């Protein structure tokens, strides 16, 4: 079988919550960690036989903060993955980490059990900005963690940065990007801060705190895209940049609509034509897996031919973009109306074409929700035009009056 499978394992623990975070993660739950390890190991054992015949070429341990789970538990988890799944020899095995919990002994242990990619939550080089959103680390811990990662022979290092933080301006953003470049990571993920409903940051904004606005974020983004390009990084997704050969193979699976299976509360899977997720509740997940109760939250069968909208939404996040013949072959839909709209985007500087593929430019990425939304509306109309005559011919529509 040509196509390979990805595995995602969610570690829903953090030392404390950052003010902007709406990921599913809980502070102060050390007492549940051993049971959580047992539950995920049991879940892996139960799921692996369903993937017989598939090779796994990416494993991603995310969170939360996986590194607070500790070296012993992470090692046990990865051994279980290796025991139960058929991993390729060159599998990309990523672990997320936060600087304050990524010491040399832990990173050495992760490397020995096969972790070959580290994704480190740097976020900013300015200690004041980190403190302003209650991150627990400072910049000197970032440099310490990078040194420890290199000593542990981790050759694929990614740093996360955030633009639009409270108190951040163009100048301090530039300092953060330059500081990140000086650490020579192979990969960078740079996200614009979003105020998620119900987070402490949302409360602060409601009480009148002013954050860098959309225009300021847009300036930070466009400057960063230029700077990283100049430094030899290739943008391959709205927020992701890599030295040649260091794109995240796991995250590309999400954007390319490839299959993956997830483990843990809130984790999603896309396997066997079915998209499903597990309950976003640690205790219900653990008791469900260990005690035999229900753990599925949502589940939907989505045949490949019905994934046209996903194709547009996910592929247009990437610089690989979309292509007429791929689209016609996969979904039997007319590409012309989309192309007309894309030509309009091209005139505005939002889209471009290379080797017959359409992709959004950095200026287009800034307004991608609007652009993709308009393409989806066009696609919906084209789908109706294709299916209505067929349904009429098959007598499956009531006669119009």
Nearer to ligand SF4, 108 or 200 (CB): 200
- Rounded Cα distance between 284 and 293, Å, is 8
Nearer to ligand SF4, 19 or 219 (CB): 19
Nearer to ligand SF4, 40 or 48 (CB): 40
The count of C-alpha atoms lying within 13 angstroms of the C-alpha of 388, restricted to the half-sphere facing its C-beta, is 8
Question: Contacting ligand SF4 (CB under 6 A), which of 5, 8, 25, 58?
Answer: 25
Residue among 320, 362, 366, 324 at smallest CA distance from 342: 324
> Is residue 63 within the footprint of ligand SF4 (CB under 6 A)?
yes
* Span from 57-65, 155-163, 288-296, 305-313 in contact with ligand SF4 (CB under 6 A): 57-65
Q: Using alpha carbons only, give the angle 265, 33, 71 rounded to the nearest 5 degrees.
A: 110
- The burial of 15, by beta-carbon neighbours within 10 Å (0-12 exposed, 13-18 middle, 19 or more buried), is given as middle
CA 332 from centroid of its chain's CA atoms: 29
Distance from the first to the final alpha carbon of the chain:
51
CA 191 from centroid of its chain's CA atoms: 11
Binders of ligand SF4 in range 85-104 (CB under 6 A): 98
- Provide, for the chain, the percentages of residues in helix, strand and coil under a 3-state DSSP scheme, each rounded to the nearest 5: 45, 20, 30
The least distance separating ligand SF4 from the CB of residue 98, rounded to whole angstroms, comes to 5
The least distance separating ligand SF4 from the CB of residue 66, rounded to whole angstroms, comes to 10
Question: Contacting ligand SF4 (CB under 6 A), which of 14, 87, 372, 382?
Answer: 14
* Span from 18-26, 49-57, 201-209, 393-401 in contact with ligand SF4 (CB under 6 A): 18-26
* Span from 1-9, 14-22, 71-79, 363-371 in contact with ligand SF4 (CB under 6 A): 14-22
Residue at shortest CB range from ligand SF4:
21
- Residues contributing to the site for ligand SF4 (CB under 6 A): 14, 17-18, 21, 23, 25, 63-65, 98
């Amino acid at each position: 079988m040509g196509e390979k499978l990805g595995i995602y394992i969610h570690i829903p623990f953090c030392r404390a919550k950052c003010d902007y975070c709406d990921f599913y993660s809980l502070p102060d739950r050390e007492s549940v960690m051993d049971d959580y390890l047992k539950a995920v190991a049991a879940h892996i054992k139960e799921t692996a036989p369903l993937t017989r015949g598939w090779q796994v070429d990416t494993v991603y341990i995310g969170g939360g903060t996986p590194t607070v789970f500790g070296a012993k538990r992470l090692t046990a988890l990865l051994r279980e993955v290796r025991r139960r799944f058929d991993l390729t020899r060159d599998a990309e095995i990523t672990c997320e980490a936060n600087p304050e919990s990524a010491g040399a002994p832990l990173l050495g242990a992760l490397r020995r059990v096969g972790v070959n990619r580290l994704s480190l939550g740097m976020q900013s080089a300015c200690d004041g900005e980190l403190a302003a959103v209650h991150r627990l680390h400072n910049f000197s811990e970032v440099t310490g963690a990078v040194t420890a990662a290199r000593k542990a022979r981790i050759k694929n290092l990614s740093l996360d940065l955030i633009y639009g933080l409270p108190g951040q301006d163009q100048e301090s953003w530039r300092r953060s990007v330059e500081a990140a470049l000086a650490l020579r990571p192979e990969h960078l993920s740079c996200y614009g801060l979003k105020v998620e409903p119900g987070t402490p940051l949302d409360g602060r904004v409601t009480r009148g705190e002013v954050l860098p606005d959309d225009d300021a974020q847009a300036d930070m983004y466009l400057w960063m895209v230029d700077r990283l390009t100049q430094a030899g990084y290739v943008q391959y997704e709205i927020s992701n940049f890599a030295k040649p050969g260091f794109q995240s193979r796991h995250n590309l699976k999400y954007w390319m609509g490839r299959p993956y299976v997830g483990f843990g509360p809130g984790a999603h899977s896309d396997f066997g034509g079915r998209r499903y997720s597990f309950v976003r509740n640690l205790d219900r997940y653990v008791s469900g897996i260990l005690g035999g109760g229900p753990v599925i939250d949502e589940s939907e069968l989505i045949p490949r031919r019905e994934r046209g909208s996903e194709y547009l939404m996910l592929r247009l996040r990437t610089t690989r973009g979309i292509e007429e013949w791929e689209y016609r072959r996969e979904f039997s839909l007319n590409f012309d109306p989309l192309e007309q709209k894309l030509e309009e985007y091209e005139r505005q500087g939002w889209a471009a074409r290379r080797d017959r593929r359409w992709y959004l430019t950095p200026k287009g990425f800034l307004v991608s929700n609007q652009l993709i939304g308009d393409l989806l509306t066009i696609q919906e109309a084209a789908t109706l035009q294709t299916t209505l005559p067929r349904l009429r011919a098959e007598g499956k529509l009531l006669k119009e009056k």
